[in-house]
Copies of this chain bind each other. A is one copy, B any other.
């Protein structure tokens, strides 16, 4: 197998990332600076992620809705930390229908403000709680150093917004989303062994009391924040006046959460599993799980390929037939490898004369000569284990690149190639500033055993996972 015409990860990881995105036809830069076109292969991956997330979100009781892109400027200013956090990233519409607008409209960077405006109308009584809303939408943040899938000026995401009667209900729901929607999707669908924990005050969402996060390790040892779930306390309930009459008729402010994941997940998938030959997709996220390639066009080859496609489709797999034999077989094979299709079934006249085809497993690059009647079983076997294999490989890679550090200096050294775990107390009061000088940050705080902190845990005894981040 000739190697795909992409640079190796070791040589130049950022360039490798760009070349995989271009070569696998995942995305393109849009004509307006910092924007992105998500091409069908990239969008197909996103659609599969969306379906898995959406199912879990609905299982958690939230309903989908849609709120406007346009937010009056005044709304953004109601929560002080929130506006401070987002002001530098806003895009503003000043003309509409050929006229200058009386009030400029901000394009939503996130929808806390507009959604909470409506929550204040919709919530009256404790019987209206919990109110659990999600939306799938595009959002706009004027990023200065855009990067496809990771930071683009417009991106696609879901954002959940909820209101609860008590602080503990809100906390429980934020954690339910973290664990049963985000962590579950990342482990079971993306095959990515994310670490979960909460952010330090410096890193948390503008307007949150606590931000829970999923942090993945990329192929270069850097961290990617892949999803966050925020406890907002009553920070928005007060300025937006979201109150309910409790069982005894007294008015109280609600307790809230918000949470989101975005097309950034596609970037995480690329950098989490890709190898020097391109993307490697877990079968759950592969727009095509199997591609059946005609090595050459010949009647018996086509007949055998068609029969295999029909057999594999009947088994419920997403299968494509590649019969573009006017393009060289080697070129097509490399292209499907770049795109990360989990299994290739190569049907050629020579193998076929002996009743065989070649089955190539993408994540191991193993090739097997397989009898026609055994193909379905072999393919099913690969699709069954590929996700678990990728998860195990990523877990081993993360563990190999994670060091327990006893001091700030040790943490800084370790974080140059991966993650360091260090007691927060050992970082000292200016620890985060010192880390920042080396472009390192605290990705999340956990208990020493890796579990989530609970109320009452002494912050200084928690372990900070530190690393460089995207």
Closest partner residue, chain B, to A141 (CB atom): B97
Contact A118 B32 (CB under 8 A): no
Within 404-462 of A, Cβ neighbours of B (below 8 Å) are at: none
Closest partner residue, chain B, to A54 (CB atom): B47
Q: How far, in angstroms, from A93 to B87 measured CA to CA in the complex?
A: 16
A36 within 8 A of B: yes
Contact A65 B40 (CB under 8 A): yes
Chain B residues near A96 (CB-CB < 8 A) = 90-92, 142, 153
Q: How far, in angstroms, from A326 to B128 measured CA to CA in the complex?
A: 12
Contact of A71 among B32, B46, B91, B326 (CB under 8 A): B32
Closest partner residue, chain B, to A154 (CB atom): B69
Q: How far, in angstroms, from A36 to B31 measured CA to CA in the complex?
A: 29
Also in contact, A70 and B153, with CB within 8 A (given A95-B91, A98-B87, A142-B96): yes
A68 within 8 A of B: yes
A37 within 8 A of B: yes
| Chain A contact patch, size range | 35 or more
Also in contact, A65 and B93, with CB within 8 A (given A31-B71, A32-B105, A70-B153): no
**CB proximity of A55 to chain B, nearest CB, Å:** 12
Q: How far, in angstroms, from A40 to B161 measured CA to CA in the complex?
A: 13
Contact B93 A37 (CB under 8 A): no
**CB proximity of A132 to chain B, nearest CB, Å:** 9
Contact A72 B114 (CB under 8 A): no
Contact of A70 among B75, B137, B154 (CB under 8 A): B154
A361 within 8 A of B: no
Contact A35 B70 (CB under 8 A): yes
Contact B133 A40 (CB under 8 A): yes
A38, A39, A69, A71: residue with the most chain B Cβ atoms closer than 10 Å: A69
**CB proximity of A70 to chain B, nearest CB, Å:** 4
A321 within 8 A of B: no
**CB proximity of A141 to chain B, nearest CB, Å:** 9
A interface secondary structure, majority: mixed
Contact A66 B38 (CB under 8 A): yes
Also in contact, A114 and B30, with CB within 8 A (given A88-B98, A93-B92, A94-B92): yes
Contact B127 A324 (CB under 8 A): yes
Chain B residues near A105 (CB-CB < 8 A) = 32
Chain B residues near A44 (CB-CB < 8 A) = 63-64
Contact A31 B117 (CB under 8 A): yes
Closest partner residue, chain B, to A137 (CB atom): B138
Closest partner residue, chain B, to A28 (CB atom): B118
A464 within 8 A of B: no
Also in contact, A67 and B107, with CB within 8 A (given A97-B88, A142-B96, A144-B97): no
**CB proximity of A241 to chain B, nearest CB, Å:** 14
Also in contact, A64 and B93, with CB within 8 A (given A30-B70, A75-B31, A127-B324): no
Q: How far, in angstroms, from A196 to B67 measured CA to CA in the complex?
A: 32
Contact of A65 among B38, B64, B70, B118 (CB under 8 A): B38
Q: How far, in angstroms, from A39 to B119 measured CA to CA in the complex?
A: 11
**CB proximity of A35 to chain B, nearest CB, Å:** 4
Q: How far, in angstroms, from A144 to B326 measured CA to CA in the complex?
A: 54
8 new A-B contacts, CB < 8 A, other than A28-B121, A32-B68, A47-B64, are: A31-B114, A32-B105, A35-B70, A66-B156, A69-B138, A91-B95, A97-B144, A138-B138
Pairs of residues from A and B, 10 with the lowest C-beta to C-beta distance, nearest first:
A97-B142, A35-B68, A40-B63, A30-B68, A92-B95, A32-B70, A38-B66, A96-B142, A91-B96, A94-B94
